[in-house]
Chain A
Amino acid sequence: MISRRHSLALLGAAGATMAALGPRAALARAATDKRFVFVILRGALDGLAAVPPFGDPAYRSARGALAFAEPGRNDGALDLDGRFGLHPALEKLHAMYQAREMLVVHAVATPYRARSHFDAQDLLENGTTRPRGAADGWLNRALGLLGGGRSGDQRLGLAVGQTVPLVLRGATPVGAWAPQQLPELNVDFMSRLAQLYAPDPVLGPAIREGMRAQAMNDSVLRGGEGGGRMAQGGNGPRGPRSVAAAAQAVGRLLGAAQGPRAAVIEIGGWDTHSGQGLLTGRLAPVLRMLGDGLGALKTALGPAWRETVIAVATEFGRTVAPNGTNGTDHGTAGAAFLLGGAVAGGRVIGTWPGLAPNRLLEGRDLAPTTDLTGVLKAVLIGHLGLPLDAVDRVVFPGAAAVAPLPDLLRT
C-alpha cells in the first residue's frame, strides 16, 4: 500500500476531482508572516483564581476559602505587579510575564450578560453581540479578509481536532490537525471516495479539505505524531497529554514558512462548581495543563514566536464568592491573557472595579469594565494588519463603538 506521504505527491495527476486539490508547489505566499492562536477555555475559567487580585482590600473577605495567600508566603500567588498575582500552577505564564511577553486583561467580558455556557460560547465565537447572531465565526471572517479564501492552496486557519469550532467555521476554508491512529489509506481509495462524496453538500467539502490538510500536515510533521489519544474540539476526553500534543503540533505547523497563520485550540474542564480548591482540587491541574501547554507552544513555534500573539479567553467568569460547595457558579467578568513575542507584556491592564460588595454586578459577579472585543480588535488590526473599518463591518459587526485597546503590541 502506498503511504500517504508518498501518495499525496501523486495527487496532482489523479484526475479531474483531484485537480481541485492542486500540487504542493502551488502553495501561495501567505498574506502575512504574523501568527495568531486563539485558545478557548470552554466551561468558564474563574478569572479571580487564575489572576487573584490580592491587593484589593475586599479580596480576602469576598473570596473566603478560595483566597490565595500573598506572594512570598507559603502557597501564595505568584506576584505580577504588587496588586495582582497568578495562580501558583501558572509558573510558565509567570516566566513569560517577567520576560514582558504576557499581559493580563482583567475584569474583561464579552457583551453577553446571561449565564448559559452554550449561548456565551456561541457569542464568543460568532463575534456578534448575541448568541446565534451569525452562523460563522469571527476568526473565519478575519481570515477571509486576509485573503485566506483566495490565496490558492494555502489554508491560513488551522483547527485542532476532528471538527472545526464555530469561531473558525465559515466561508473561508481552513485546515485541520488531529493525531493519527488508524491505517493510512492509499490515494486511489481516497480519490474514489472523494468522487462519491462530491455531490454531497456536507461530506463533499469536508473530504476535499481533509485530503488537502493531510498533505500539508504530513509535509510539516515529518516523522509523524505518535499515537497520543486526543479528541479536541468538544468531541472527546481531554487530558494534559492531549493539550501538550496539540500545542506542539500547532507550534510546528504555524512555525513552518508555508504553514497556516492562525490556529484555534479548545480546552475544557473549567466549570468548577464544586471542589475548586487552591493548590489542590479541580482547578489547579487544569491551569497547570494550560500553562504547560502554552509553554510547549512557545517552544515549538521556535523563531516564529517573535511574530506570534496568543489570545486566551473564556465565555464568562465565575461568582466572586465561593458557593456552598467550595466551588463557584456562573458569573460575568473574568481574566483574559495575551502572550507571544509580539505582545507588549509585563502588565495587568483594564480598569479594576473592586470586590467590595457594592461594586459587584448584581451583588455577585466581578463587574465587566473591558469588552473582550476591544482586545481582539486590537490584535486583528495591530498584529494581522486588518483595516479598522473592515473589522467593524465584517469581523465584529455591532461592535463599532468598542475601540481597539491601545498599546497591547510591541512596535
Chain B
Amino acid sequence: MTTRDAFIAVNRFGLGARPGELAEASHDPRGWIERQLAAPPGTRPIEATGSQRMALFQESRRRGGDQAVETLFRQNFRDMYLDDMGRRARTQIESGTPVIERLVAFWSNHFTVSVQRPICLGLAGPFEQEAIRPHVTGRFRDMLLAVARHPAMLTYLDNAQSVGPGSRAGTRMGRGLNENLAREIMELHTLGVNGGYTQTDVRELAKILTGWSLGRPGENGAGGFLFRPVIHEPGEKTLLGVRYAEAGEREGIAALTALARHQATAMHVATKFARHLVADRPPAAAVDRLARVFRDSDGDLGALARAVAALPETWAQPAPKVKTPAEFVVAALRATGFAGESRTLVAAQALLGQPPLAAPSPAGWPDVAGQWIGPESVMRRAEWAMALAQRLGQRAQPMALYDATIGPLAGDATRAAIERAGSLAESLALLFASPEFQRR
C-alpha cells in the first residue's frame, strides 16, 4: 500500500502531486514528509516589509488625508496584493517543499488577517512572510509574539489604537480601550472559545496589551512595532487568576507566553491541527496525543507536525478531507505545471470562493467539507476544471496525469470515465473534477 500512503503524504501533507512527486514519495511516504520538516522554512523576497508599507500608509494619510489613503489602497496596495498573492500561489505551485507551504497557509489562517480590511491589501502578504513563515516549524509562542507585534495584526484587530484609560494619554485625551485583539487572541488564537476566560479577562488582557502599537512618521522605526508607554494602562492586572505587576511591554510578553503554554491552548491548537491533517472530525485520542506533544515540547510546531505524521489515525483513511477551493486550484496547477500570471491565479481562487488571505472574519477560512461543499460550489469546481482543461490545449496527456495524481486511489469508474470522455478537454476536466482529485 505504499502508493496509497504516498497519495496521503502528497495530498494531505503536501499540496497535490507534481509530476514525479508521487513516485518519489512512494519509497518512504513518512520520510518524504519528515525531510521537508527538517529543512528551514526558507524565505521569499517580498517587495517591501510590513513596516515599510505601514509607513507608506501613515505618510499618505499625513500628507493627503482620506483622499490619498483611498488612492493608496485602490492603486498601490491593490497591486501589491495581487503581486504578493501571485507570488504566493506560484510558490505553492512550484515548491519542492509543499509540506512547509501547507503549514504556512495553515498558520496564517489560524492567525487570520484579512484583506476584507482594505489596509490589509498591503500588509497581509508581508504578515505571512514575516510573522508566520519563520516559525512554522519553530515555537508557537514565538509565532504568537511575532503575530501580536506585526503591523498587520495590530491594525486588523485595532490594538494599535487602543489606549489605557488611566494612561497619561488616556487621561489627557479621553481615549480608551479597544478589546478586539485581546478577545480574539484568547478566543481564536490560543485558549479557544470554551477555554475558560471571562469578559473581565478580555478587559485585563486588553489593558496589558495597551501600548503595543506602531511607530509614526518621523519616529525611529516608523510603521513598525513600537511599545508606547504613554498609552499603556498603568497598574497591576489579573489575567486568568494570575497577577501581572506593572511592567510595561514585559506584561504583554509574559501574558502571551502564559497563554501559549496554557492547557486549553494545547487542546485548541491540537484540535485544529488534527482537523486539518487527520480528518474533519478527528478522533479524540489523536487530538489528545497531539495536545500532549504540544505541551511536552513547549509548543514546538515542527514536533507537532511530525507527531501527526506518526499517528496511525492519519493513515487510516486515504482521503477523508475535501480540498478547499484554494487547495483544489493549487493541486490542479501543480499537476499541470500551468501557473499563469498573478491576476489569473488570484481570480481562480476567488471565483471558487476563496480569494487568498481574504477570510470573512478573524476566525479564518473554515476547515471542514460541509462549509465548502454545496450545490453551487461543486458546479463551480466542475466548470473551473473545464476552463483549465480548455486552456491546457493539446499538450496535456490525461492518462499520464491520471497516473501522476490520483492513480493510486482512483476507482475503475473514474479511470473509465476519463478514458472514454468525448474530447481531450472533457477527459482532463473529469480528472480534475473527479472525487479522488477533489479529496485529500
Contact = CB atoms under 8 A, between A and B. Distances in A.
Contacts of B361: 42-43, 117-118, 234, 268, 271
B178 interface: yes
Contacts of B421: 189, 192
Contact of B158 (A164, A193, A213, A327): A327
Interface stretch (A79-87, A175-183, A366-374): A175-183
B375 A206 contact: yes
B179 A195 contact: no
A274 interface: yes
A118 B426 CA distance: 41
Interface stretch (A155-163, A243-251, A401-409): A155-163
B199 A115 contact: yes
B377 A163 contact: yes
A169 B162 CA distance: 39
A212 B353 CA distance: 21
B435 A119 contact: no
A263 B46 CA distance: 44
Query: How many residues of A sit at the interface, in one of the four size bands?
Result: 35 or more
A98 interface: no
A214 B374 CA distance: 13
B240 interface: no
A43 B180 CA distance: 12
Interface stretch (B24-32, B134-142, B364-372, B396-404): B364-372
B417 to A, nearest CB: 5
Contacts of A175: 375
B131 interface: no
A43 to B, nearest CB: 7
Interface in A214-233: 214, 229, 231, 233
Contacts of B187: 116, 118
B376 A161 contact: yes
Contacts of A159: 374-376
A203 B437 CA distance: 12
Nearest to A182: B383
Contact of A203 (B177, B179, B373, B376): B373
A207 interface: yes
A348 to B, nearest CB: 29
Contacts of A337: none
A185 B161 contact: no
A40 to B, nearest CB: 12
B377 A206 contact: yes
A235 to B, nearest CB: 4
Interface string A163-204: 110000100000111100111110011101101110110110
A274 B178 contact: yes
Contacts of A303: none
Contacts of A212: 375
Q: Specify which of A161, A185, A362 lies most central, judged by the most chain B CB atoms within 10 Å of its CB.
A: A185
A189 B170 contact: no
Contacts of B183: 115-116, 330
Nearest to A321: B176
B380 interface: yes
Contacts of B424: none
A159 B380 CA distance: 15
Nearest to B114: A237
Main secondary structure of the interface of A (DSSP, over half): loop
Contacts of A210: 374-379
Interface residues of B, number: 61
A323 B375 contact: no
A178 B352 CA distance: 11
Contact of A235 (B360, B363, B430): B360
B382 interface: yes
B271 interface: no
Contacts of A211: 379
Interface in B380-421: 380, 382-384, 386-387, 390, 413-414, 417, 421
A185 B382 contact: yes
Contacts of B352: 162
A273 interface: yes
B358 interface: yes
A176 B386 contact: no
Contact of B373 (A163, A192, A193, A268): A163
Contacts of B353: 161-163, 231, 233, 235-236
Contacts of A274: 158, 161, 178, 180
A192 B371 CA distance: 25
Given A42-B360, A329-B180, A207 B378 contact: yes
Contact of A197 (B161, B380, B435): B435
Interface string A244-285: 000000000000000000000000110101100000000000
A406 to B, nearest CB: 34
B158 A325 contact: yes
B165 interface: yes
Contacts of B376: 159, 161-163, 176-178, 210, 213
A184 B380 contact: no
B36 interface: no
A176 B390 CA distance: 27
A155 to B, nearest CB: 9
B162 A324 contact: yes
B193 A116 contact: yes
B417 A195 contact: yes
Contacts of B87: none
Q: Specify which of B180, B375, B377 lies most central, judged by the most chain A CB atoms within 10 Å of its CB.
A: B375
A323 B375 CA distance: 42
A317 to B, nearest CB: 15
Given A183-B387, A238-B360, A325-B175, 15 more contacts: A42-B361, A163-B376, A163-B377, A189-B426, A193-B430, A202-B322, A209-B374, A234-B366, A235-B360, A274-B178, A324-B176, A325-B161, A325-B163, A330-B179, A330-B183
18 contacts: A162-B352, A164-B375, A185-B386, A193-B434, A196-B434, A197-B435, A202-B373, A203-B438, A207-B382, A209-B375, A211-B379, A212-B375, A236-B360, A237-B355, A268-B361, A324-B176, A327-B158, A327-B178
Smallest CB-CB A-B distances: 4 pairs? A324-B176, A182-B383, A210-B375, A209-B375
